[in-house]
Amino acid sequence: MSKSELSGTDTGTTAGYDLHIFVCTNKREASTRPSCGNMNSEALRAQLKTWLGQRVKNDPKAQALRVRVNASGCLDYCEQGVAVAIYPLGELQLHVQMNVPDSIEAIKSKIEAEVQRLILSRQSDSE
């Protein structure tokens, strides 16, 4: 089923997001296996949500983009730092660590590149 088939045409709304980020916030309490929730991933999710919201809000070319940052359950990459999935890229960003600024900047760069791609795509669609 394509995205257009999934749109909420019955209600006059558009379903889905142009850019959807999933941050694993799964937290294991009694396990030797690491978990993203124990690596401060909820703070990462909150930080990305605020940053992306401001990024889109402050750019007239990006304001129409529908973006969302969600918490997700375990993505099964638990031993590799916090796991973040970026859609529609379908890309998984691993080794994200709140105490390593370069890893936060790396994921923001990936997201920013996708925002730019979406803006250009919208512009070419309207021409």
Q: Which residues of this protein are in contact with ligand FES, per CB under 6 A? A: 24, 26, 35-36, 74-78, 83
Q: Which is nearer to ligand FES, 19 or 24 (CB)?
A: 24
Around Cβ 20, how many Cβ atoms within 10 Å? 16
> 1 - beta bridge partners?
none
Query: Please, what is the minimum distance in Å from the beta carbon of residue 36 to ligand FES?
Result: 3
Nearest-approach distance from CB 72 to ligand FES, in angstroms: 8
The distance of closest approach from Cβ of residue 31 to ligand FES in the complex, given in angstroms and rounded to an integer, is 10
**What are the b/e assignments for 50-61, b being 16+ CB within 10 Å?**
ebbeebbeeeee
Do 22 and 73 form a contact (C-beta atoms < 8 A)? no
Residue with smaller CB distance to ligand FES, 24 or 65:
24
User: Smallest distance, Å, CB 59 to ligand FES?
Assistant: 31
Q: Which is nearer to ligand FES, 74 or 89 (CB)?
A: 74
